[in-house]
Structure 1
Amino acid sequence: TISTGVNADVFVLDLHDAPQSKIDALLNNGKVVLCLFSAGTYENWRDDWDDFFDGFNNIPTVADIGGWGEWWLDISRIGELKPIMSSRIQMAKDKGCDGIEGGV
């Protein structure tokens, strides 16, 4: 749940999970919206998870993180990762986000 009644000027929302209506409401009220996505991990519950591989063995990862469906990405394979991250940045732009936070 996103609480839009908080006295804040900047909101950081999950790029994949935040409803467009919440983003629009914040923007229409003059708030700054930053959209967060993981730029350093692969999360198997995200809509774009299958963009990371043509088969499970091709996922450009280094290590599993805690067994919850998230893996560190092998950033030395930037050629494979760049189109995916570019797509996420474009998604943020299309949703109207003022900026992004590429967290991990």
Structure 2
Amino acid sequence: MSKVIHVRTEIEIPGNPSAIHVAEMRELDRATSESPALCTMVRIIELAGTGAGETVTGAGVIGGNQVGLAAEPNETVPHPDSYADFPDIKAKIITAEEFEGLWVEAITKFPQVA
């Protein structure tokens, strides 16, 4: 069974507030050792604000309902281990408990996502 990863990302967008997402993803098996590491997105939460006061603004289940997301998320994304290669992305692995706490907030706000 592939590993489940929970990650928080902040993407710098010149002239705009950072795009903040918390995602649950599953590692994809590499076809070869030279293949880039990829993950399949499972659930995603979009946040707005600053680290001191963020609010859930959108959420979605990939292949299911999505509400309030600024853009449709990609189903397959680079593995978080590769995010250091992208200068405009800050990423931090979070615990499943941290993700689930935000997910409860998200589905309370957007019950149609559950």
Q: Bin the TM-score by the shorter chain.
A: under 0.3
Find the structure with the greater CA-based Rg: 1
Give 1 or 2: higher strand fraction. Answer: 2
With the length of structure 1 as denominator, give the TM-score of the two structures: 0.27
